[in-house]
Amino acid sequence: MIRFENVGMRYGAGPEVLQDVSFTLAEGSFHFITGPSGAGKSSLLRLLSLAHSPSRGLVTLMGRDMASVPRRELPALRRRIGVVFQDFRLLDHLTAVENVALPLRIAGGRDGRILDHVRELLRWVGLGDKLEARPPTLSGGEQQRVAIARAVINRPDILLADEPTGNVDEAMGWRLLHLLEELNKLGTTVLVATHSEPLIRRFAHATLHLDQGRLLGPAGELAMGEAAIGEPA
């Protein structure tokens, strides 16, 4: 599902923020990615979400070399990737329901079924009384839950989450991770960037570790066949 070969990435003319990163993640796997601030976790997720291109190396997603994909096909590929950003990126003029419904509307879903599905998911994440609220009236944790609901609503092939539990209490954090696990059981490949050691210990998924832009290898054991991690050059 995801393959990096000797990937480097820089912003503009600056130094590389990712260096010789190589790994392969199998379809339907679930991984945490850890590392100190500035290690390159968010930059790695930007490559995976097709928000940025590598400066060198090979990135393959869903069986396709991203360097050879025509620009006109990128929007359709991006719709197969759900992303939870640290800054949420909700649309302030839309309600919680309308924000979460966006991916389904773009995919051409029927309004009646869309709204029923969206309301059910928002109730599950504890926002049943905030369905018509707009993001500026919500707390940071509530906005985080809306962003997660939007990312998972259309069952993407790949789900990328950047500190998805950073703005919620522990109990809600566990609940949100269980939601990502349920999505994973349906076949979605999940990659979660986090600083939370308690989260990693509780859910015990395979873990990759970045430090100063280099992948140092798994911080925990990888199940045979789930993923192969290349050592940095």
Domains of the chain as residue ranges with CATH: 2-80+156-229 (3.40.50.300), 91-154 (no CATH)
Residue type, 95: T
The Cα-based distances of 80 to 7, 157, 188 in angstroms read: 22, 5, 10
DSSP at 205: -
In 3D space, the residue among 213, 228, 174 whose CA is nearest the CA of residue 7 turns out to be: 213
Given this model, what pLDDT does residue 110 score?
66
Backbone φ/ψ region at 29: left (φ over 0), alpha (ψ -120 to 50), beta? beta
Burial 106-138, CB ≥16 within 10 A → b, else e: eeebeeeebbebbbebbeebbbeebbebbbeeb
In 3D space, the residue among 68, 6, 75, 8 whose CA is nearest the CA of residue 43 turns out to be: 8
In whole angstroms, what is the distance from residue 42 CA to residue 47 CA?
9
Q: What is the chain's percent helix, strand, coil content, to nearest 5?
A: 35, 25, 40
Query: pLDDT tens digits for the chain (233 residues)?
Result: 999 999 999 998 989 999 999 999 999 999 999 998 889 999 999 999 999 999 999 999 999 999 999 999 998 899 899 998 888 889 999 999 999 999 888 777 666 678 888 999 999 888 999 999 999 999 988 998 999 999 999 899 999 999 888 878 888 888 889 889 988 998 999 999 998 888 888 988 999 999 999 998 543 333 333 444 443 33
Strands 81-84 and 158-162, sheet pairing: parallel
